[in-house]
Structure 1
Amino acid sequence: MLINLLTEIAGQQANSFSSLAKKLDLDREMIKQMLNDLQRLGYLTADNAACVNEQCKGCGGCCSKGNGEAEATLWTLTAKGRVLLESTNR
């Protein structure tokens, strides 16, 4: 499950916790916990994004303004996260 989530973030396909949950067939709260775990383990970094009210095409952030979520978070794979993802794709 964690590798699938990393793949979604790396592919810059994600736009909200809810969309990640739907894509991965998981609960929204589970996605939040998984992202926090991946950050704690050093595979992701999180930054608050100053996003506009619609999804931009420039990042893999979880744009959430205007859809009822508190704030946007830009999740980025660290070097450690990229190495892990590459090692699983061999």
Structure 2
Amino acid sequence: MGIIAALVIGAIAGWLAGLIVRGAGFGLIGNIVVGIIGALVAGWLLPQLGVSLGSGTVRDIVNATIGAVVVLVILSLIRRV
């Protein structure tokens, strides 16, 4: 996957995760970073759980969004403490 595609998928996933986890958005750059980190987290976590969601760009966005939600929940828990 190209770097531009990774940035676009990260931005979409970070934005979606920010909508899902209310009050945890970090702006455009922060959402891209959270989306990319989320994609890495999901790339490790979902196979460990035996989850396979298909193939293609939509799968990449869904996986990255799931990972970004996990990252945002963890970050919001750390911020509260």
TM-score in same-fold range (> 0.5): no
Richer in strand (by share): 1
| RCO higher in structure (CA 8 A, sep ≥6) | 2
| TM superposition score normalised by structure 2 | 0.30
Richer in helix (by share): 2
